[in-house]
Structure 1
């Protein structure tokens, strides 16, 4: 039944202007998103510290990252159903609580095994924060303004990969590794207080039966597939048993889930949403974009540290222009998406991303930093016009009842594609470096100066040039993938959203 508009929640989503209520809700959601996304990248720079602190190998220490990612993949499919069943506000507060509790426990870890276990608990909360945040903000804004509020939510998604290494390096150098987790406590408590006070109480839909079969297929299927994919860089090949066996089992479970979901009225992940043309092309666009962009995201920090000898903190600072570029274009893109639709905006963004990435295919051992930073700035301009407008295209034509499941689906796609991209670029780069005999010793000389004394004259310069060439050639793969994104992006909507149901239902649902 369609409910009449109700402005008791303090705003009117049918108007074009963003009101104070929407900004307050956005502030709460962004606080949670900042924590969950920063925590992924902050821990990256701490892995060598974990090796020393817990006397373990890099492969085992890296499970502090992998465990968190697998927990995200496990819990994200449950978010849509749980949001419908318990309400977005209650579920968001619960997710924040899990995340803050997990952060506190991580800071007390006495062994690498304990740290990995506590990171899994953190991921169970962190995995829900982003899809829930997108759902809450979409309901608050309505279809006419969803582009702009999604642009707000995109800021932490952009800042995470840039600010994370900077913040992590500073906390570890100035204090101790414990503080990369303790920093979440004051932010998390603040987010919890504001969530209780600011988020409007919502009325959960009549409970649909929980899809237990879907849960037993989808969650372990995604987790096993991502475990296999995440093991590729460590194994150095996709043909290893540790990669193939879990990835194959995961794919079989996912395939079985697809068959199950298409025959079930209320599946855990609603694949019937693909009947929506805009969502289908948005998913295809997001897959290619995420594989290319997030895969390439690991290349430049590694190049700056391994080839140029920069510290993690310096590398993070040098990458900052990308975030600045995105912060400039993202609010502009969000406003334009609400006025002219996402199609032209995303096409422009993909063009800028392609142009920026082409510059990195020419990497050398002494490429001037101003050129690298200019390419990053252009790439940032493109990023601000691509990622969140694509997600907006997916959800702005959905009904109020479909939004929670739509945002869940998009977050699963984003997480999975990003993991595939990271593994793909890692393997390509690793194999290219293996083919350059002097690259490894030259890179090692940047870490241990005594290595340089054992190498023939001129071999370091030659080796670093070979390593830079390997990074540049890896970027070619990313350029091809991002260029392919033009194809699905061409079919994204080009016009203002037309979905009166969401605009009418949103204030009524938020008022309860």
Structure 2
């Protein structure tokens, strides 16, 4: 658990930490914003392509083999990033880091499902929730401090010793817990999966960066991705040994949990993108100050995750998920009214309440859904859930950036003094309000679906015997 959680923390920390350094990197390497954004898009794209294949890898390689391989890629990418002197080297380092994270996340969930019986999984997943939620929240703040007092290279130097420690810990203590079945490898399924998930992640990411949904590249990417995914699903249904077993969708609580996680991730990543931009562009905060404003919410979420895990074991998901989504929707409604005159204290309180609601939704939905699956479907369930999180992130950020940009443009087109910096700040505030309305609508849809969630009943004795066997 220590090895998996430490490595998982750094993997998810890496996903957001470099975002706050993009401005510095654009100056250092003389890049355009669209080119610099590939450091994030490339990372997400690699995850979107690799994670679906992880269900197959989990059945071909041992726990130790996959863990050591994941850490080797992550360490190589982090060291290369720390030593990078060009954009090309930094791009390669990001892809290597993403390969490490893409192998590690499904392995972490699959291992926990195997080694913990259902009545103890809530507490275990609560610890993982601390990692999953606190790492992306802490990324911008820690990166802001490093950029302020050192340089962007130290984002990588910070991660390197923790990854090495995790590797040694894993080599010493990691056991092989998964069953190796070595199903057949279908190259057409891999090609369709790569084109499908990769095309959708790339299309939405590019739309978010450029702000244009009419771009032919965006339309073609999403269309190719959608058609490839349909063909991929049809192929899996007719194969005797599918690459990704879609029978997981026959379990209703898994499907409900998957939708909850998908919608919640859209809210998380869209809010985590819009809120720092609002603080820096509308309220004129520095990157470090904006990171500090968001820190209490991230810390609160990290503290609450293990507590929510224990509550889930005791009460089940219903009394956590439904109130959590109601709170998220109300908080986002308040966020849709923030302006340049709003107090910093109000922003901190609202962000803390948002993180409170998210902690009540993510882990209980995920754990309850995976609990309903039989053991042989754990690799497929974790692969699908982690893949759709990446797609949710791409869609959430793309739509929120597009809504924000249109709000800014709409206000500036009506402004009597468009060159006035104060008008620009108000315009950005107006665009941010629209983006928060979009996130609120997603939360309301989630609330309606959450009304159908039920606790999965699993016999403790039977599961324990099966785990021992």
Distance across 1 between alignment mates of 2:158 and 2:416: 37
Q: Deviations over 1:258-305 (max 9, x none)?
A: 110111122222211101111111112222222223212211100000
**Unaligned runs of at least 5 residues, structure 2:** none
Calculate the TM-score normalised by the size of structure 1: 0.87
1:341: how far off? 1.9
Q: Deviations over 1:410-441 (max 9, x none)?
A: 10111111110000000000011011128999
Q: 1:442 to 1:259 in 2, by over 3 A?
A: farther
Matches for 1:404-423 after TM superposition, within 5 Å: 404-423=379-398
Range with greater deviation from structure 2 (166-175 or 431-440) = 431-440
Q: 1:434 to 1:342 in 2, by over 3 A?
A: same
Match of 1:378 in 2: 353
Q: 1:257 to 1:158 in 2, by over 3 A?
A: same
Residue among 265, 285, 290 paired with 2:240: 265
Matches for 1:472-491 after TM superposition, within 5 Å: 472-491=433-452
- Kindly indicate whether residue 55 of structure 2 is the aligned counterpart of residue 80 of structure 1: yes
Matches for 1:159-178 after TM superposition, within 5 Å: 159-178=134-153
Distance across 2 between alignment mates of 1:47 and 1:460: 22
Q: 1:72 to 1:499 in 2, by over 3 A?
A: farther
Distance across 2 between alignment mates of 1:464 and 1:121: 38
Distance across 1 between alignment mates of 2:417 and 2:259: 40
Distance across 2 between alignment mates of 1:114 and 1:196: 29
Q: 1:189 to 1:328 in 2, by over 3 A?
A: closer
- On the 8 A contact 2:46/2:95 being kept in 1, the answer is yes
Residue among 220, 226, 231 paired with 1:256: 231
- On the 8 A contact 1:440/1:463 being kept in 2, the answer is no
Greater share of helix residues, 1 or 2? 2
- On the 8 A contact 1:171/1:180 being kept in 2, the answer is yes
1:40: how far off? 1.0
- Kindly indicate whether residue 305 of structure 2 is the aligned counterpart of residue 344 of structure 1: no
1:381: how far off? 1.2
- On the 8 A contact 1:441/1:463 being kept in 2, the answer is no
Q: 1:441 to 1:83 in 2, by over 3 A?
A: farther
**Unaligned runs of at least 5 residues, structure 1:** 1-25, 444-454
- On the 8 A contact 1:278/1:492 being kept in 2, the answer is yes
Q: Deviations over 1:347-396 (max 9, x none)?
A: 12111211221210111111011111111121111111111111101211
Cα RMSD, aligned residues only: 2.0
Aligned partner of residue 177 in structure 2, secondary structure:
coil
Aligned partner of residue 285 in structure 1, secondary structure:
helix
Residue among 295, 301, 304 paired with 2:279: 304
Distance across 2 between alignment mates of 1:352 and 1:472: 18
Distance across 1 between alignment mates of 2:462 and 2:190: 30
Aligned partner of residue 118 in structure 2, secondary structure:
coil
Larger Rg: 1
- Kindly indicate whether residue 186 of structure 2 is the aligned counterpart of residue 211 of structure 1: yes
Matches for 1:6-405 after TM superposition, within 5 Å: 26-202=1-177, 204-405=179-380
User: Which stretches of structure 1, 4 residues or more, deviate above 6 A after TM superposition?
Assistant: 438-443
1:181: how far off? 1.6
Aligned partner of residue 412 in structure 2, secondary structure:
coil
Match of 1:8 in 2: none
Q: 1:82 to 1:365 in 2, by over 3 A?
A: same
Distance across 2 between alignment mates of 1:379 and 1:234: 25
Q: 1:116 to 1:505 in 2, by over 3 A?
A: same
Distance across 2 between alignment mates of 1:215 and 1:441: 55
Match of 1:425 in 2: 400
1:136: how far off? 1.2
Match of 2:453 in 1: 492
Distance across 1 between alignment mates of 2:42 and 2:131: 22
- Kindly indicate whether residue 454 of structure 2 is the aligned counterpart of residue 506 of structure 1: no
Aligned partner of residue 338 in structure 1, secondary structure:
helix
- On the 8 A contact 1:350/1:483 being kept in 2, the answer is yes
Match of 1:470 in 2: 431
Aligned partner of residue 119 in structure 2, secondary structure:
coil
Q: 1:302 to 1:420 in 2, by over 3 A?
A: same
Aligned partner of residue 183 in structure 2, secondary structure:
coil
Distance across 2 between alignment mates of 1:203 and 1:475: 42
Aligned partner of residue 298 in structure 1, secondary structure:
helix
Distance across 2 between alignment mates of 1:320 and 1:441: 37
Q: Deviations over 1:421-472 (max 9, x none)?
A: 00000000001101112899999xxxxxxxxxxx5xxx44444333312211
